[in-house]
Structure 1
Amino acid sequence: MKQTNVRQFFQKFPTDEACLEHLFNVRFGQGHVCPKCEREAKWYRLTNEQAFACQWCGHHIHPMVGSIFEKSRTPLQLWFYAIFLFTTSKHGVSGKELQRQLGVTYKTAWRMARLIREHMAAVDGDEPIGGEGKVVEVDETYYGKTVKGRRGRSLDGKAVLVGMVERDGRVITKAIPDIKAVTLHEAVEQSVAKGTELHADQLNSYNHLDQKGYDLKRVNKLRDGWYVGPAGETVNAIENFWRHLKCSIEGTHTSVSPKYLERYAKEFEYRFNRRMRPEMMLDELLSRFPELDA
């Protein structure tokens, strides 16, 4: 099944009214039990506000409340189209591009992009990966300008991300304050199930993970580069993810503040985890609202 194209998008969502109707249907639907009178009801669209009323008691339901669309004066169709752009781009969408495409101010476009990235992260979730018989690669990367006069792995002014990818499976990324053993071990234990075969490079901070329920195998990147050991130990998959992330950020956004780096990483994490079924992304993002339960 192919991804939705522009023509199909506007056929499905031709107006704000169609978008609001979609939100009502995926969140509630006809027959939804009224929270006030507790009866199954037919819901009628109100003409003077973006809401639906119960046939029995007139109680109002607002489909946008609790979602990323709440309290926004931007037309709902533009929100849906912005999400469509995020799902069809392999390299992300910049605030300036949203500004040009939607005809809104840069401030509005930047806020929309931020909320869409947060929504993608919420839908993707952070359920642990790996488990018995599974292989997970773990690696850290640094983002930011190198401080002149510094040598080695100086973290001055740089953000640190740790990534874990399951062989032929999902990836999880996290922003971390440093690369100390306690920090990396905590990130791994939160995201990777015990019993997993864990592949890591020679960074000392990964030492002793084999004492915490993992089958730890090491890769010497300094000696062998993109090395695949005799038992198949490698971190090539997570290295490829970092390369795509950094190239996309540099090509689409030029640069990203370390403060917001994790949001961009989560956006790419969401798309990576659906790389085998990209056609589902638009419907998923327009139908699932886990932030409502937060």
Structure 2
Amino acid sequence: MGMNNTMRSDKETDKGQTARSGPQSVGRIFSILEVLSSSRAGATLSELASTTGAPKTSLVGLLAGLVAERCLIRNEAGRYFVGPRFIALAMKTVSGRELVTLLKPVMEELVEQTGETAVFAVLDQEGDLVNYVAKVESSNPIRYAVTVGERRELYCTALGKVLLAHFPADQRQAYLEKTLLRQHTDNTLTDRAALEQELKRIRDEGIAHTQDELFIGASGIAAPILSSDGTVIGALAVAGPTERFIANVKIHEKYLVKAATECTLLAGGLPAPQKPGNRP
């Protein structure tokens, strides 16, 4: 009897530990995400242990798993940041759908002002493509057209280049090292050094440009949309047939920056300060 009681007790203890450890791990994951989503500078293992109240030994495995699933990013300095999979998932939630609804009037006004197509996009779940999630097309018979849900490469699209430019440095470097830069047209940037220089210009000036880079005859510009902690959560673009678009690109830039600022405010973010030398 004593042995049977002991065995039952051991099993009950194991079940109790398993039941507690599961919810505890889930709680710690949410604590980690809450801390990182409110910090532009990310956090180290020690900082996460301190802010979440969890032992480092308990966090190591969780953090490794979240990095492996691209929910988090860990840079060379050992700092953790919210990753593309988590951001993409957040954009698919109700709040993300509500954001698209909020942005639509701004996009419609942008189309009215420029006469060209407006597109809102986010990073896809894997973090290496741009995903078009909303559009308002120009009424012009000859216009730029996209399909909502379509995914395209980052390095040769205006929307993609905005998102890529604002990757953490190590994530951007990893993307450039693993991605085959295909020559879609004569204007496609396939030299990594030249592309990195272009991405720096985008960070400095706040606008990405493409001219016949993915398709001959299609050009566009894009600007980032920021969340409350300064994270780039998406990008807004205006695009059209190259000849007509380039002839009016300067005025399009002004309207785009204004629209992207309004979208950032609707997303609960603060617009990035304009830097000296910005085009708008």
TM-score, normalization by structure 2: 0.31
Higher RCO (C-alpha under 8 Å, 6+ residues apart): 1
